Chain A
Amino acid sequence: MTTATVPTDVPPVVPHPLPDRAYERMTLVLRVGLGLSLAILGAGVVAYLLQNRGATSSHILSNNPILSYLSFGGLASGLADGSVGAVLTLGLIVLVATPIVRVASGLYYFRKGGERAMTGIAFAVLVLLLLGVLVIGPLIR
């Protein structure tokens, strides 16, 4: 590892540095999101194994339970019925939502700091992410 000329004489130009609270909130979002999704998925896997004793791997590979729970109504009724497939799907949704919430958190702090350009960029990223989950995916299913 080499160290080249260090630009100590040129201070960085950060017009509105993000507050410490923004970093703390994003760290919290990642930890809570991951922890919650892993807890749901872990409970789901144990329940699935208990429900399917004696089954083989070909059973998993040929039956994808997610297809029944991809609508809000399907997921809600699956969870209400205590379906393991619905629980696992919920865990995956929380995992996918974690970085999306992080982007929303960035949007909040850029807007609070009065940074119009960065607020616009964060908003566009958020819209594109939601477009993928809510429009493109269901359309091409």
Chain B
Amino acid sequence: MDLALFVLLLVLVAVLAGLVGSLTGLGGGVVMIPLLVVLFATSIPVAIGTGFVTILATSSATGATYVRDRLSDIRIGMFLEIATVPGALIGATATVFLTHANLTSALLIALGVVLLGTIPVVLSRRNVEIPVEMPQGPVARRLGLAGVYHDRSLNRDVPYRAARARPALGVMFTAGVVSGMFGIGAGVLKVLALERSMNLPMKVSTATSNFMIGVTAAAGAGVMLAAGYVNPVVAAPVAIGSALGAFLGSRLLPRLRNRTVRMIYLPVVLVLSVEVILRGLGIA
């Protein structure tokens, strides 16, 4: 393929990934990585390294708005990063070792299975805007994991308190390993821990997950970049396209219903997961 056309297509596909990533709060890597492998014949470790770039661009583009509007809870996000960051370092290191051991087919199959695994979680995501109050655990109380945000749709300030901090740390460590290993944001797991373990409101969970995704991705990207698994000529157009897509997504999000977003996400991820698994098995 001609170089200019290749770069243009990378930008366009990254716009799509950034759009889906910001609309779903999942970071965009789930779409970008399989597309890099399937459409652009990129090797799996370079695709994973580029996935981190997609997440970093998406998270920074949308995260600025969430932080400005006080929707991202910096205190809770920082506390949970103590689990996601070491997880991501372990995951990314494992990917490099699997690549050195010529086990990239196993990595592809595992990636496909992880992508398929996000589907039931996205489907089962609860639709409770503001959860019922739960008692705070000792860790959450000691660190003051609580806050207030202004809900524009309800037109009032909503106070909240994080409930169970310890189980959330366990889920976040797993999310970090998955993120580091496959170059995806693992936002599904992060939102799950924030909503269900910590009992945070939906908007705070989504915004705080986005805040954390960037830091987790920086951990994985740092390892993959320093290990030489990020190709800048592939990653640069992807970063530009992802940021553009995320910006468009943040404009579109208020006009879209949750259900519409899921209907976009599910078929795309289903097809890509199957394709990636088939490639890993040497069938496609």
Per a CB cutoff under 8 Å, which of B46, B82, B226, B232 touches A133? B226
Nearest CB of A to B254, in Å: 13
Are A4's CB and B231's CB within 8 A?
A: no
Task: A11 to B111: give the CA distance in the assembly, Å.
Answer: 43
CA distance A6 to B160 in the complex (A): 9
Within 8 A of B (CB), among A38-58: 38, 41-42, 44-45, 48-49, 52-57
A76 CB within 8 Å of chain B = no
A60 — which chain B residues lie within 8 A by C-beta? 3, 6, 231, 233-234
Interface size class of A (residues with CB under 8 A): 35 or more
* Interface mask (A71-106 → B, CB under 8 Å = 1, otherwise 0): 000000000000001001101110111111011001
With A2-B128, A131-B89 in contact, is A44–B236 under 8 Å at CB?
Answer: yes
Contact A13 B161 (CB under 8 A): yes
CB within 8 Å for A92 and B222 given contacts A44-B232, A59-B3, A65-B233: no
Pick the residue among A30, A61, A67 that contacts B60 (CB under 8 A): A30
Query: Are B159 and A12 in contact (CB-based, < 8 A)?
Result: yes
**What is the count of residue pairs linking A and B with beta-carbon distances less than 8 angstroms?**
254
How far is B42's CA from A67's CA once the two chains are assembled, in angstroms? 17
Asked, given contacts A14-B144, A27-B68, A88-B236, whether A106 binds B61 with beta carbons under 8 Å apart, the answer is no
Contact across chains for A88 and B74 when beta carbons are under 8 A apart: no
Are B89 and A12 in touch, CB under 8 angstroms?
A: no
- Closest approach, in angstroms, between the C-beta of B89 and any C-beta of chain A? 5
Residues of A within 8 A of B44 (CB): none
Q: How far is the CA of A5 from the CA of B215 in the complex (A)?
A: 33
Whether A70 touches B226, Cβ cut-off 8 Å, given contacts A10-B159, A92-B235, is yes
B-side interface mostly: helix
Assembly CA distance A105 to B81 (angstroms): 15
* Proximity string of chain A (1-36) to chain B, C-beta cutoff 8 Å, 1 when within and 0 when not: 111111110111111111000111011001101100
Q: Which has the most chain A C-beta neighbours within 10 Å: B93, B223, B226, B239?
A: B226
Contacts of A95 in B (CB 8 A): 53, 56-57, 60, 221, 239
Given A7-B160, A88-B236, A140 and B3 contact (CB-CB distance below 8 Å)? no
Task: Please indicate the chain B residues that have their CB under 8 angstroms from the CB of A17 in the complex.
Answer: 147
Instruction: Say which one of B20-28, B130-138, B187-195, B262-270 lies at the interface with A.
Output: B130-138
Least Cβ–Cβ distance between A83 and chain B, in angstroms: 11
For B46, list chain A residues within 8 Å (CB). 61, 64
Distance in Å: Cβ of B158 to nearest Cβ of chain A: 7
**A85 and B81 in contact, given A7-B161, A41-B240 (Cβ under 8 angstroms):** no
**Which residue on chain A has the smallest CB distance to residue B133?**
A7
Known contacts: A7-B133, A103-B78, A129-B215. The answer to whether A66 contacts B230 by CB under 8 A is yes
Besides the known contacts A5-B132, A96-B218, 16 further A-B residue pairs in the complex with CB atoms under 8 A apart: A10-B133, A13-B161, A23-B67, A23-B74, A26-B67, A45-B233, A57-B2, A57-B6, A61-B231, A66-B232, A92-B232, A98-B218, A99-B218, A100-B215, A128-B219, A134-B226
Jot down 22 A-B pairs with beta carbons below 8 A, ordered by A.
A2-B127, A4-B130, A7-B130, A34-B64, A38-B240, A49-B4, A55-B3, A56-B3, A59-B3, A60-B6, A60-B234, A61-B41, A66-B230, A88-B236, A102-B215, A117-B142, A125-B78, A128-B86, A132-B85, A132-B222, A137-B224, A140-B93
Interface residues of A (CB under 8 A from B): 1-8, 10-18, 22-24, 26-27, 30-31, 33-34, 37-38, 41-42, 44-45, 48-49, 52-57, 59-61, 64-67, 70, 85, 88-89, 91-93, 95-100, 102-103, 106, 110, 117-118, 121-122, 124-125, 128-129, 131-134, 136-138, 140-141
